[in-house]
Amino acid sequence: MQLLLRSARIIDPASLFDGQLVDLFIINGLIRQIGINLQVDEGVRIVEVDNLHVSPGWVDMRVSAQDPGFEHKEDITSVCQAAKAGGFTDIVVLPNTLPVIDSKGPLGYIRRMAEGQPVSVHVTAAVTKKAAGEDFTEMLDLHHAGAVAFTDGTHTLQNPDLFLKTLQYLQPVDGLLMNRPEETLLTLFGQMHEGIQSTLLGLKGIPALAEELMVERDLRLLDYVLGADNTHVRPVLHFSTISSARSVELIRQAKANGTPVSCDVAAHQLVFDDSALAGFDTNLKVNPPFRSVKDVDALWAGLVDGTIDAIVSDHTPQDAESKNLEFDQAEFGIIGLETVFALAATHNRNLSLSQLIDKLTIRPRHILRLPSVTIAEGQPASLTLFDPAGTWVYDQTFSKSKNSPFLGQTLTGRVIGTVHQGQFNHNA
């Protein structure tokens, strides 16, 4: 493959060309030359579009691929096509499949199925067998087999002793524990955020306290495990999909104290508050739920000041039979791989473009211990091409499932394509 990206604005703080308008000449997956008005031979494919921006390839830290076991909702091929359309070169898949990714067999299946796909698929492995929260998996074996992190995914590690021992177990291999904070005894039968709106709608509430208690517990246990050891240069604990103002503040304080912790927020949490559920649209039923206006404000503030490290899709495909039901019977979840960047760009609140790209590239790679990617001559070309001001209509999805409240909407922030593993993947 020979490709010339003409007049591209580089967004990469690690690059000498950050912020500059340059040409990039790519041969066989490597950035061969960067300059102005580069001349190339005939036959070289040239990409020249208005307002072209290029950054290191984007990484989505939280994707439910549903394969194996639930291929009628999504499979590895369809999830990779959706990720490519959303501008991602790398995705991290959760272990909540059937069977659960709790041994080398299912992990190897995912890695084999991901070969030849347009995105790199990184696999998380379960902390406990069947993600049931009872018995440990063989984490060291799974680590050496290629697991990028450990999590029970959609299930929270409720048992504090298991949580503590997992942190201890992963320390020698510099492993990462990811946990979605939720005290499930406080959220039993909950349907939406607990507040005035849930009362008006007559729906059982999910209190923010359930998340905040678990964040506080996990931070206390992490401090207990680490003791005086503050030598960690990378997070050892990552909170997935935080949603409340108090959670943001707790993590902000922990980081100020030097605690090696990180967190992410789902893109859709930045768009809606709980008032959006007045129409009982089941495509808006998510967990954690859309919370108050105050919480949404705090999430944006946490992104701007660096408390929140990453923006994720929390891509959760659900078939029509799981969503076309009464609200309290419908499953939780939104598909989001194709709209992460556009949602953040469309609803942006004081987040610079460099900060936004950092949440999709540099920070996720650092947290996940993935090799860094930068735009420089001689470096591998793992790139996302986009127009931050371009508008487009989200009128179709590559996902097998259609559970998105954004289908049919006009959004700002258009993905032009990706360059990854020696291939140029262009969005039509």
- DSSP secondary structure letter of residue 370: P
Round to whole Å and give the CA distance between 308 and 242. Answer: 9
- Burial profile 155-188: b = 16 or more Cβ within 10 angstroms, e = fewer: bbbbeeebbbebbebbeeeebbbbbbbbbeebbe
What backbone phi and psi angles, to 5 degrees, belong to 46?
-115, 130
Q: Give the active site residue among 152, 314, 358, 387.
A: 314
Cα separation, 175 vs 288, in Å, equals 25
Asked whether the beta carbons of 94 and 151 are under 8 A apart, the reply is yes
The answer to whether residues 372 and 15 touch, using CB atoms and an 8 Å cutoff, is no
**Is 314 one of the catalytic residues?**
yes
CB 174 within 8 A of CB 152: no
Both tokens assigned to 28: 């066989």
In DSSP notation, 296-339 reads: HHHHHHHHHTTSS-EEE--B----HHHHSS-GGGSPP-B--TTT
**Strands of 148-212, DSSP E:** 149-150, 177-179, 192-193, 205-206
Please name which of 47, 53, 35, 49 lies closest in space to residue 5, comparing C-alpha atoms: 47
Tell me if 272 sits within 8 A of 300, measured CB to CB.
Answer: no
Q: What is the DSSP letter of 371?
A: P
Token pair in block for residue 83? 């990720």
Q: Catalogue the active-site residues.
A: 314
